[in-house]
Structure 1
Amino acid sequence: MNFAPAALEVIAYEGAPRTLEVAVKSSRSIDSVVNVGIVADRAGLLEGVQVERTAEALSYKAKLTLSTTMGVGEYRGALEIRLCYDEPLTCARPVEGAPWLLPYTIVVRKGTDLSPLRPLAGAKDWGMYQGSAQHTGYVAATVNPGAFGRRFRVELPETTESSEIAVAQGLVALVSGVVPYIPWSVHGIHEATGAPAWTVATADAWVQFNPPALADGMLYTVSSGSPSLWSFSAADGVLLNKTYLGSQRKIHLAPTVESGAIFAAGGNYGGMSRIAAGGAGVDWSKDLLWSSHWTPAVQGSLAYAYLADTLHAIHVADGATAFTIVDPALGGSGYTAPGAPAIADDGAVFVSRVAFRPDLPYTGLLRFDPIARSLSWSVATQVLSQPVVAGETVYALEGGALQARSARTGASLWSWNAPSAFAGKGGQVDPLPLVVVGDLAFFCTIDGTMALDLKTRQIVWTDPSIGRLAVSANGILYIRGTTELVAVNLH
């Protein structure tokens, strides 16, 4: 018998469920019916075991559920894998070669630390997609992995589409729902404790709430089905305004808020709209293209959208087109990448062309120069994430690696290969999560959320949860999965 992994190295949290998968490959077939048993060398280690055959010959998959009663500490030992012609508990008639041992090291960490919230120097409210109206995904703060620890974990209603969260002024905002089975809701959660602040549900089966934005004491979300901007009081969830946008029934990212104004997908057949502060009516709408899974980026007097092979720059004052820059690599294909432009401090605009179908060969990373009104550079690469802009460096998940590039030239500075495939919960076409905090990059693989030291290129922290990522002004890392929200103290 061969096992993958050959030894279990597991991080779990006190009181939280944890399920492991082990691939089992037999070197030969067994003619008779046998029983399988997985026996722990100590009581209270396993809560459940499930073994099933896979499509590959002589291959099986074992799901092991750890006990939630395990205390904080480190556990070392070995699981005994039994194949028996009789009952596995006694196994008086074992299959030749049985039993086999699967070594394990299980580290159980403290599951809750509700220490007083403290601002993290350099961090700001994560009020919208990738943190701000510029969508850089970068937090200019210094954190020490040795101080990381779970603040709380709360269970959430299932969500199958885009599940980005927003965090501002001590409130976590998110939406939940499953099309077309579970009605959609908007939730406010206290950052200090993880306790619910309020929940607003819609009884309209045609309404799907998209990810929220938090700004100026308001929560904003654009609905699909009945395309409108919903404006709630962040304090108590009271609906203050509902503004019809006239866009098509598409899924979108969180609206972008800058200087009080709200920018979102809108227009008669798709495009961009500016809505007055508080959601008090549409100031203007600009028809651009019928598309989904995007949101504008805003800096100064211009709002940007990358749609149909083209970077559109729109005057925020009146919605007039300032200029457009065509992406020549696509040659008028009409392809629109999901996500949003990311704007550097110097005004340069970066775009990830993420292909949401395997038959689309249009993947790549681009830099536009709004002053020269030209494409500065483009790199053909299998980009999977938003670009994260941190000073003179732009980071992205590319293929199986985290890639660091020169923001000015696009040249590769270094590349680090991930130990397993990148992952991220949410809509299937959304860019995968990537956030940089100081010298640490946070991302998800199929094995969990990881922090990579950008100087040493070593993994310095892991968590078994997977999901969309956000970092609050109080130095809390959030991992929003399909059915859970995990908060991690970063200082």
Structure 2
Amino acid sequence: MKLAVAFLLAAPGLAQVGSDRIVLGIGPWTANASVDTSAWKTFGNGPSHTGAYLGVYGVGSTEFLWNNIYPQDIQQVAVKDGVVYASPWQYFGDAWLRALDSSDGSQLWKYDFDQCYSINPPTVDGEQVYVQRGNHSGDTHLWSFQSDTGVPNWVAPHAAQWERYLAPCVADGRVFVNGGYYGGMYGFDQNDGQQLFYLDLPQYDQWVPSYYGGRLYSFVAGTLMQHDPANAAIDWSLALGWNWSGWSMDRTIAIANGRAYLVNSDGLYCIDLTTGTVAWQYAGNFNGTPAVAGDRVYVMVGGMVSVHDAWDGSYEGLCIGSGAVLQQPLVTDDAILFSSATETFIFDRAKLSLRDWLPFGGELTLADGRLFIAGSNVLLGDGIWAFTIPGPSEAQPNLIGDVEPWRLVGPEPEVHSLVTITNSGIAPTGKYTAQLRLSDDLILDKDDPVLRLLRMRSLDPGESISGTMRLKWDSNLTGKYVLLDLDSRGDVSETDEANLFPTGAIQ
């Protein structure tokens, strides 16, 4: 259904490429599923693993709600529809999956597995919960459970040795996981567990592929690959080099705005997914999985989080904690959260200053106005701690854009990119103006010609729309960018005023 553009016009300074005018359209706009701040379904909060929570953490006190103590470490929990799904980190010990009421921690159901080497973090999607149980070849499986009862739906075997895994990636009716006797990647049908493919990859564990824009991405031992999600066929690969430091990756890829952000052994990388090439690199001894939100990337380095410009990698600041930061920063519209094994830190996203501190450490999940810490306290031991977050002090909208990689389409030919605009705030945006500008770089200059001026209707809180941007391809466009400048006239007072979202380089 057509939703948003009141008019599309050729604004003054419409670009000329050679002797031909750029023919550009955008739309029709169609509605997406609304932003669901009541759920955190998997590692990184979705199959693209951005680590972003589309909502406001708020300024004020983080209030204790409940805790459950267990005899084992707990891995990052998944949350959906007021239910917390939890599994333990264990070594040939008791293996289980629990469902808890998110409001008070009471147990709704529990499934006990046979004793095994590893039970791994859960992913919840739709009415199913997915978890891998690892116990060497012949006794390693991907399990699907009914989310409301804990009854198994199906169990799919896959090859393995003694491995641990990140939470399964669920997208496009499929479940993607790390596995294989000598390393690799599997795809399974989400509904019945039928194996769709296996791809042999280097023998590393503790990673999972990422899904974005209809393609699947793996990153193992310094090589990034783009795959067809139906059969894992490789579209392209990019070798970045790799310094071996063990047989566990302990990371995956965060993907947004047509770019993949990842930590290699020699630094932080941004990969343009249109070209399959390095957009920028920032050298450093980083670790884990970056988080990306708006125009910034957040990456762990020791007991700190380093902040970088998402478009050129330039250093913008440092959030200083203590101890080794775990897994991935968590970024909201207004805050940066990260934790060590014993402490959690909440920083202001704009000022990079400390807002709050908690004497509990572990892996973080944010959903439905609650912060869940799966980890430990020096006095109380291991368990899950739940807190109520302050929330927004005023009702504000917040515009977020995402621009997928360019695709060459048709005999003309044209290049297409899917544009998504979301209001992650809690107030309507009101009508606003956006621009599409043509640029030689990723910086908006006053001389960058306007391709289109867009009059956009108001977006309600949580509303998200998508439309296809179309350019008539011309060889003179190669290497240029289109800049999506949301709220170009400053009509909307937002939580985060960063509104420039560039495409990948046109090819």
Shorter chain as denominator, the TM-score bin is 0.5 to 0.7
Give the equivalent residue in structure 2 for 1:372. Answer: 275
State the SS of the aligned residue for 2:364.
strand
Given that 1:248 and 1:290 are in contact with CA atoms closer than 8 Å, whether structure 2 keeps it comes out as: no
For residues 378 and 451 of structure 1, the distance between their equivalents in structure 2, rounded to whole angstroms, comes to 27
Q: Secondary structure at the match of 1:274?
A: strand
What's the secondary structure of 2:224's corresponding residue?
strand
Of 76, 84, 87 in structure 2, the residue corresponding to residue 172 of structure 1 is 84
Change (3 A) 1:373 1:177: closer
The runs of at least 4 aligned residues of structure 1 exceeding 4 Å deviation read 331-336
Aligned residue among 101, 121, 127 for 2:41? 127
Deviations for 1:98-137, whole angstroms, at most 9, x for unmatched residues? xxxxxxxxxxxxxxxxxxxxxx976252111111101100
3-state SS of 2:191 partner: helix
The equivalences for 1:3-402 within 5 A come to: 123=37, 125-146=39-60, 148-159=62-73, 163-176=75-88, 178-180=90-92, 182-203=93-114, 205-225=115-135, 226-267=139-180, 269-328=182-241, 330=242, 337-344=249-256, 346-353=257-264, 362-402=265-305
Give the superposition deviation at 1:399: 3.4
Cα gap change, 1:231 to 1:416, in 2 (>3 Å)? closer
Q: Is the 8 A contact 2:87 2:98 kept in 1?
A: yes
What letter is aligned with 1:218?
A: Q
Residues 244/377 of structure 1: CA separation in 2 closer, same or farther (3 Å cut): same
Question: 1:139 is paired with a residue of what secondary structure?
Answer: coil
- The alignment partner of 1:325 has SS state of strand
**Equivalent residues of 1:172, 1:191 under 8 A apart:** yes
Q: Which residue of 2 aligns with 1:471?
A: 366
How far the C-alpha of 1:335 sits from its partner, in A, is 7.4
Aligned amino acid, residue 252 of structure 1: Y
Task: Give how far 1:192 is off.
Answer: 2.1
Q: Contact between 1:122 and 1:141, CA under 8 Å: does it hold in 2?
A: no
Cα distance per residue 1:367-387 (max 9 Å; x no partner): 111211112222221213421
CA distance in 1, matches of 2:244, 2:362: 34
Question: For residues 400 and 201 of structure 1, do their structure 2 counterparts lie closer, same or farther at Cα, with a shift above 3 Å needed?
Answer: closer
Residues 177 and 183 in structure 1, CA contact (< 8 A), matched pair in contact too: no
| 1:454 to partner: Cα distance | 2.1
Aligned-partner residue type, residue 95 of structure 2: W
CA 437–268 in structure 1, closer or farther in 2 if over 3 Å, else same: same
1:96 aligns with none
Cα pair distance change 1:458/1:333, threshold 3 Å: closer
Which residue of 1 is the match for residue 331 of structure 2?
436
Distance in 2 (CA, whole Å) between partners of 1:336 and 1:249 is: 11
| Structure 1 residues not aligned, in runs of 5+ | 1-119, 354-361, 425-430
Flag the structure with more relative contact order, 1 or 2, with Cα contacts below 8 A and sequence separation at least 6.
2
Match of 1:484 in 2: 383
Secondary structure in 2 aligned to 1:145?
Answer: coil
For residue 143 of structure 1, report the CA deviation from its aligned partner.
2.8
SS at match of 1:130: helix
Summarize the Cα distance change of 1:336–1:438 in structure 2 as closer, same or farther, 3 Å threshold.
same
Structure 1 residue 397 displacement after superposition: 2.0
* CA distance in structure 2 between the partners assigned to 1:224 and 1:446 by the alignment: 24
1:309/1:201 CA distance change after superposition, 3 Å: same
Shift in Å, 1:446: 6.2
Q: Which amino acid aligns with 2:335?
A: L
Post-superposition shift, 1:200?
0.9
| Cα distance in 1, alignment partners of residues 277 and 120 from structure 2 | 33
TM-score (norm 1): 0.67
Q: Are 2:250 and 2:288, in contact at CA under 8 Å, matched by a contact in 1?
A: no
In structure 2, relative to structure 1, the CA distance for the partners of 1:207 and 1:279 (3 Å cut) is: farther
Which blocks of at least 5 consecutive residues in structure 2 are unaligned? 1-33, 377-381, 392-507
1:445 deviation in Å? 4.0
Report the Cα distance in structure 1 between the residues aligned to 2:201 and 2:38, rounded to whole angstroms.
32
Shift, 1:449, TM fit: 0.9
Residue 458 of structure 1 aligns with an amino acid whose one-letter code is S
Aligned residue type for 2:195? V
SS where residue 395 of structure 1 aligns? strand
The question of whether the paired residues in 1 share the 8 Å contact of 2:90 and 2:117 is answered with: no
Name the CA distance, whole Å, in 2 between partners of 1:484 and 1:332.
33
Q: Which SS does the other structure have where 1:251 is aligned? A: coil
The alignment-based identity, stated in percent, is: 23
Aligned residues: 349
| Equivalent residues of 1:385, 1:434 under 8 A apart | no
